Each structure stands twice: as structure tokens, then as C-alpha cells.
Amino acid sequence: MKRIADSTVRRLSVYLRYLEDLAARGIATTSSDELAQHSGTTPAQVRKDLSFFGSFGKRGLGYSVAELSERIRRILGLEREWKVVIIGAGKIGSALSTYRGFRQRGFTVVGVYDKDPAKVGRRWDSQTVRHVDELEADAARLKPDIAVLAIPAEDIQPEVDRIVRSGIRAILNFAPAQVQPPPGVALKNVNMAMELEGLSYALTNRE
Amino acid sequence: MKRIADSTVRRLSVYLRYLEDLAARGIATTSSDELAQHSGTTPAQVRKDLSFFGSFGKRGLGYSVAELSERIRRILGLEREWKVVIIGAGKIGSALSTYRGFRQRGFTVVGVYDKDPAKVGRRWDSQTVRHVDELEADAARLKPDIAVLAIPAEDIQPEVDRIVRSGIRAILNFAPAQVQPPPGVALKNVNMAMELEGLSYALTNRE
């Protein structure tokens, strides 16, 4: 299959949410117009995005909600469980560890780590915070797929190195530092201030 | 000025972070190659993005870090303070209210709101949590620019309506629900599960 751009993958996630919403309401078909309207894009973009997976939908009949959901779930790799470790037991880590949206999607938190002795040993939802020095040994046993980094920016590089040594091949970084992905590792930076900058841009440049 | 695509605005934020990093290290010039390498994009894309603001940089000499930073800050509307209210005093709201990256960028939290009587009145950093019913009256006085929504998905629509009634024209939504922007309101949805889906896609489709 062709490599899909990040922006397309992101729109697929948005389409999937709307499709699941339709399914929950017992609606069996939808159209590119409707998908576009609920996803902040154009019908032409929807058709282009969905054309990556071969032909879909029938002119005048629209898309089957069940079939389209299932195909998008398969593309996004959501038909299996993904094991997630959270590095950083601060406020963001805490918010993430109990985020309902994760478990609904098959992302299971299998460990929470910190280096602060005041946090290590604390009970967190279904987890006990462990010292980050245990990560490599734990990972050999638990085989986590994804590490979420929720630590201060200045601590980031040694933790990225440790994650890579632990054999984890995907990182979601919440630290306000742009991290370069190590070779063979998928990495996404989530920067909350950057999201606000998108809004300050919109407020500044509105007509 | 031309309307700039969201993806371009996002890259400008990334470039700005790298430029500030260079400035902090006392480095006065950079190149499109270097900007691209540190921003996960191509030199051609960097040149294209920066061409929106007219001509920049000299072949063989590169870009002035100070000049480019200043122009990007101006484009993004970062030369002023933006007042932010947080709706939802739960874990995500709490993490956001003390997020250092916000204040560094000129985003000042001027109010935190909840509807839960157990949370209203609690002290939060420099704020006391107020009942969300006070938002409209407070907004008339404080004139917040941006509302951050960190509440459960099922509560979202009445709060969006209230924000709009309060005269706030930009919303950053952390609730796991895709919200349609009301007319004249800039809206960004941040969905943490969607970020993980980008990674599950990458892990599933790696060569």
C-alpha cells in the first residue's frame, strides 16, 4: 500500500469518530458530503482520502458505515491491543493514564514510570508508579508498543534513549521540546502551546 | 495576506521553536536545510512556507534567526498577551492551567471554571475555580480571547454555546468529541487518542 501522509491519517481518525457516532445512532450509510461536513473538510478531500483503499461507496448510495469503519480501523491498526507505558507521573501523565478515549481505542496502559522517589510506589488507577530505571527490565517482559513522554523538556533526551534501548518503537511526546525521531522509531510531538498558537493565528488574521 | 493552511501554521510554530533554541545558543543565522532537518520536513517545504511572507534569506547566507523569529511571531499573533479561560477543573484542566509552555508564549490563564460544587472554590495555582454559570458575567469584565474545553464529551454542546454567548471567539477543545465550530469562532480539537492512532498506523504499516 502507498504511504499515507500524516494529515490523511489524521482525517481518517476523524472520519472514524463520526462513523462510530452514526453506528451508535443506528445509521447504516453516509455520504462524502456528510463526512466532510462533520470533519471540517471538503467532499472532494473525503473521496480522495478514501480512494487510497480502493473503490468504495456507490454513486447515489453512499458509503456503508460498517464497512468503512472496519476498513479504517484496519488501516489505522486498531484491530489489536496496543500496550502503552507512560513516562512521567505528573499532572499530564495522570490525566493521560485515566483518559477514557485510550482504552476505548485498544490502548492499554501497562506501566507508569517516574524518577521522583516521592511518586514511585504511589497507586495510580490500576497501576503502581515504578522507578524509570526499571523500564528496560519491565519492557523485556511486558513488550510495550508505545511510550508516552510526559516529563519536563530538559529531561527528555536520556529518556528517549532509554525508551529506544527498551525496544519500544513509538513515542508520543508531550514535553514542550521538539524531539527528533531516532532511526526506526515513530514519534509524534504534541505541544499544547502550539495548538493555542493556531488559534492566536486565527484570531490575528481573521477578516 | 493570503490565507495560510493549518498545516503551514503548525510548521511555523515548529520553526519558531527551533529558532528560539538557536537564539538561546547565540546562533545568528540558519538555513532551510537546517530548519527542515529539525522540523521533520524538507528544505523545499521550508522555503515554500517562508515565501508566504515575501522574500527572506540570501542564497548562501541563510536566514537571520532574529528577523525570521520576529516575522513568525508577528504572523502567529504572539506579540501580545492572550487571555485564556479553562472550562473543566479536572485532571486535564489542571495539567493545562500550570503548563509552563503557555505563559512563555503569552497565553495567560485568567479563569478556571467547573460545574461540580466539590471543585468550585478550590485554589488552583493563581486562580480560584469558579462556577461555570459565572462565565458570561466574568467574560464581560475580563474579555478572555480563548476558551480551553477540558470537560466530558457528553457535556460539550451547552458549554460551547455558553462560550459563544460570552463573546469568546476561539476554542481549544480537549474533550473526546469532534465539535463543529460555530460561525465566526475558531476551533481546534485536540484528541489524545487520535495522536496515538497516528502511531498505531505507523507501527502497523512500517516496512
Does A34 lie in the same domain as A93? no
**How many structural domains comprise chain B?**
2
pLDDT, residue B69, reads 94
pLDDT band for position B137 (50/70/90)? Answer: very high
Q: Is the domain of B65 the same as that of B104?
A: no
Provide, as residue numbers in chain B, all residues whose Cβ is less than 8 Å from the Cβ of A193. 99, 101-102, 104-105, 107
Q: Which residue of B has its CA nearest to A81?
A: B200
Residue after which a domain boundary falls, among B76, B102, B123: B76
Determine what percent of chain B is predicted with pLDDT higher than 70: 94
Q: Return the higher-pLDDT residue of A41 and A28.
A: A28
Residue A89 domain-assigned (yes or no): yes
Across the range A20-45, mean pLDDT stands at 90
Q: Identify the weakest region by mean pLDDT among A17-26, A95-104, A131-140, B9-18.
A: A95-104
Residues from chain A contacting residue B90 (CB–CB below 8 Å): 95
**A199 CB within 8 Å of a chain B CB:** yes
The pLDDT score that the predictor gives to residue B56 is 61
Q: What is the pLDDT, as a whole number, of residue B146?
A: 96
Q: How much is the pLDDT for A133?
A: 97
Residue A157 contacts B where some CB pair is shorter than 8 Å = no
For chain B, say whether A165 makes contact (Cβ under 8 Å): no
B164 inside 8 A of chain A by CB: no
Judge whether A200 lies within some domain.
no
Of B47, B76, B105, the residue that ends a domain is: B76
Are B67 and B109 contained in the same domain? no
Provide the residue range defining the domain that includes B161: 82-194
- Residue to mutate among B6, B197, B203, with most A CBs inside 10 A, is B197
Q: Indicate the residue among A14, A42, A76 that finishes a domain.
A: A76
Residues B47 and B71 in one domain: yes
- d(CA A71, nearest CA chain B) in Å: 13
ipTM value: 0.86
Nearest to A13 among B6, B106, B197 (CB): B197
Q: Is residue B206 part of a domain?
A: no
pLDDT category, A52, cuts 50, 70, 90? confident
Same-domain check for residues A91 and A182: yes
Q: What are phi and psi of A125, to 5 degrees?
A: 55, -125
Mean pLDDT of chain B: 88
* B205:A77 CB<8 A: yes
Confidence of residue B59 (pLDDT cuts 50, 70, 90): low
- For the segment B97-121, the average pLDDT, to the nearest whole number, is 89
Give the per-residue pLDDT at B25: 92
